[in-house]
Amino acid sequence: MNASKASSRFTKGSLRARMFCCTLDLPLWPVAASLAPVVSAAGVLFAAFRLPALALLAKVPPSSLFMPAHSSLIQSPSELLAAVDLGSNSFRLLIGRVRQSSLGAQILPLDMLKETLRLAAGLQADGHLDAASQQRALLALHRFAERLRSFGPNRVRVVATNTLRVAANAKHFLAGAEAALGFPIEVISGVEEARLIYEGAAHDLPRDGQQRLVVDIGGGSTECILGKDYIPESLESCYVGCVSLTRRFFPEGEVNKASMEEAIDFARTSLGAVGTQYRRKGWRYAVGTSGTAKALTQIAQMQFQRDLLDRNSLHDLQRRLIKAGHPDRLEVKGMRLDRRPVIAGGIAVMRAVFDEFDLASMRYCPAALREGVLYDLLGRSSGQDMRAVTVDALQLRYGVDREHAERVAETAMALFDQIARGVQEELQAQRTLLGWAARLAEVGFSIAQADYHKHSGYMLLHAEMPGFSLSEKNRLANLALGQAGSLRKLHGLLVQEREWLMVLCLRLSVILHRRRDRQEVLLPALFAKKRQVRIELSRRWLEQHPLSHASLRAEIDNWRSAQIFESIELTLI
């Protein structure tokens, strides 16, 4: 689903939701992107410059101004951690904040810096890193040092990867680099790099109990990991990357069929032994991390309209590049300018990965080495689904009435159980998602009671939610948006009948628990077959609860007006 389209639905008629993105510590970049056409000049200025919350006192309920003690609005230095990744293609700094919840700790990104240096391209034939590359790197580290000036030594970890593993003069360079940055630098092994990559990815991927293959194509090496949930089972690092391969086979940028095939064969030779070993063990799905996987996935989505990077889109891109003859002449949607110089090597390595591991497709995960370094620095052991940790943390952060939310969730899931038909794994995943949506349905109250469902939908769409995929966030946001108000706003957002049934279950549960007391409610009998829905409730109970009866009748009229189902009835028994 298009995020801009969705966010405009959530915020239509609600300038407060847009203005409060700063107060709620939601990321500003999606706000600017999705709301530019509709936000007033004052709203844009507020978002851009983070004006004091005092300007909003007249708009905000008093309870919305007082965040829990753990709120990130006031950051204690002890809550912040920093990871610096001195990679073969780029240097990156990631600062994260540690948030505690009753289910564990999680780290959310606070600030990021990136310097594209192509360090691997500075390796000379004798193995030494040239002076120009060293100078660019030192200047970048000097800039990073300013951002890290307030951090203690136990809050920062700096790791260097393949280029500084193999450079003959690495020791000399590192002395100057540590002086420029102000922190010690660890040159980590390929296996340690693989372990940290997996730890970072595992904290962003769902804890689903399935064996997964994680592949990280860097500038000078490619890490391959097999693991399940938070536990890596096999770790390997291969000396082939997008920068080193580009430099070797496409030194002037020119690409032809012969040079591309030579590059792919070279990469396959580097990956072959690992591919054979891993294929024997097997996995359920493959995940790509870091820049090459991100760039190729974006091209597959924007140019070839694929949900994932697949074999066909990769072959199509390779043919287009060979026909263009040079990355600068390649015209495809989704490719950033700073990725062009190494795209040929990236395609060759990814082709080798797909061939040696016999992959049909690969999903992309944004978390990798830097996130793993942060979690390793934190030193926590993970035993819970990161998504459950995220839900718990958001409830705590935005002051959700947990007891009420739990009652709504239990009733919604009990209703869903009555009508759920299909593959058990899919149903369980949808049931769990429905429960999480119910538990987070009222986060929008932290903005205002009016249109709270729109605020909740907007917040869930744009908040940092570790563990949740973009599609899962979209579904949570749609459920929160659909818990109240007109159903017509969901047209175009929901397609499958089961998605509409999930909305129905949540809306019925919200109605039944409207009194917000601790009294048990009578669970309706819910029937759904061939787009025909029937709700059965005790006549006597409805007579004793006239408000619920009136609300249920209004709800039936709402569904009939939206024409979602062929028929929907409320039957008194």
pLDDT at residue number 138: 97
User: What is the side-by-side strand order in the sheet with 156-160?
Assistant: 104-116, 90-101, 80-86, 156-160, 185-187
With a CB cutoff of 8 Å and minimum separation 6, the contacts of 25 are 71, 72, 73
The SS3 call for residue 390 is helix
Q: Measure Cα distances from 51 to 18, 70, 73, 283, 417 in Å.
A: 13, 22, 13, 49, 47
> 226: left (phi > 0), else alpha (psi -120 to 50), else beta?
beta
| DSSP assignment letter at 535 | E
User: For the chain, which domains are there?
Assistant: 80-187 (3.30.420.40), 206-366 (3.30.420.150), 385-518 (1.10.3210.10)
Distance CA 212, CA 227 (A): 6
Instruction: Report d(CA 36, CA 18) in Å as an integer.
Output: 11
Strands (E) in 397-531, as ranges, are 525-529
pTM of the predicted structure, to 2 decimals: 0.59
Give the per-residue pLDDT at 386. 63
Instruction: State how far the Cα of 482 lies from the Cα of 472, in Å rounded to an integer.
Output: 15
pLDDT at res. 49: 28
pLDDT for res 467: 63
Find the helix or strand (DSSP H, E) in which 427 lies: helix 424-440
pLDDT at 41: 32
The segments of the chain whose pLDDT lies below 70 read 1-78, 380-386, 467, 469
pLDDT at 243 (0 to 100): 92
CA atoms within 13 A on the CB side of 491: 10
- pLDDT computed for residue 153 by the predictor: 84
Please state whether beta strands 80-86 and 156-160 pair in parallel, antiparallel, or not at all (unpaired).
parallel
Query: What is the pLDDT, as a whole number, of residue 422?
Result: 82
Task: Please tell me the predicted confidence (pLDDT) of residue 148.
Answer: 96
Tokens linked to 433? 């998602």
Measured distance CA(118)–CA(239) in Å, rounded: 16
pLDDT (0 to 100) of residue 317? 97
pLDDT digits (tens, 9 = 90+) for 119-135: 988 999 999 999 999 99
Q: What are 548-556's contacts with CB under 8 Å, separation 24+?
A: 548/511, 548/512, 548/514, 551/511, 551/514, 552/508, 552/511, 555/507, 555/508, 555/511
Of 508, 515, 517, 510, the residue nearest 547 (C-alpha): 515
* Residue 136 to residue 86: CA distance in whole angstroms: 12
Q: Residue 423 has what pLDDT?
A: 77
CA gyration radius for the chain?
A: 26
pLDDT at 11: 37
